[in-house]
Structure 1
Amino acid sequence: MLIYDSAAAVIPLDPDNTSAGAVVIRDTAVLRLLGHIFSSHWDRAIDFGADDRQEDYKPTDLELAVLRLMAAGKKDEVIARQIGLSTRSTSRLIAGLMTRLEAANRFQAGVRATAKGWLP
């Protein structure tokens, strides 16, 4: 599925055989629905080639910077601005960290990150 500027979407008639053709959709209600479906899948996606073994996981420099800003009590919008990412990408990065840390909230994430030695 390709969505262009929320104005048109191109969907293959047969996802297993893309040479079978495609349909172009311009209806705003259908485009909104497709956008929600895309966002839902995007939010649940994992990095390409990501390994399920969490015990060997080491946070990246960017993730450590985000954890430090979270520990300082910064909101997602402020963190996004300071690290130069969109709010959506920052929220996704934070959600990934929370999942890896098995944390239900930011406080718990900070405690667990400290216990793992990720934060001083």
Structure 2
Amino acid sequence: MSLLALQRDAWSAPFFDAAGEGRLLILQCGNCQRFSAPQARHCGFCSSTQLAWVESGGRGEVITWTTPHRRENGTTAAAYVVAIVQLDEGPWMYVHGAPDVALVAGQRASITFTAVADGEPLPVLGVDS
């Protein structure tokens, strides 16, 4: 699976620091205490910008997925899967997965991390058998 490299900024630095240690961070609102996905810049429930990084259990369930196909040397082989996983804490995360993994809506999943050349570790999909 080939992933594009992402680069950290001041906002995402805590997320990527934790990812490098194999830990998933999400955001918790200081106003309403609800959880948001790591890419949020404000609470999706009350619009507060008082967000703090907290550790997630890194588990949830598959909501949906798609398999983009790209042409390489005239083929249309699946390159990877993009899935939406609803974390047990509530927020949805977009994650990449291997194209040969059989997915089912509602399937239990975990978020792990993979190293990417010239970039930060990225969250990837792991599924329960």
TM-score band w.r.t. shorter chain: under 0.3
More strand by percentage = 2
Name whichever structure is richer in helix by fraction: 1
Provide TM-score, normalisation by structure 1: 0.26
State the TM-score, normalizing by the size of structure 2: 0.25
Q: Which has the higher contact order (CA 8 A, sep 6+)?
A: 2
Which of the pair has more CA radius of gyration? 1
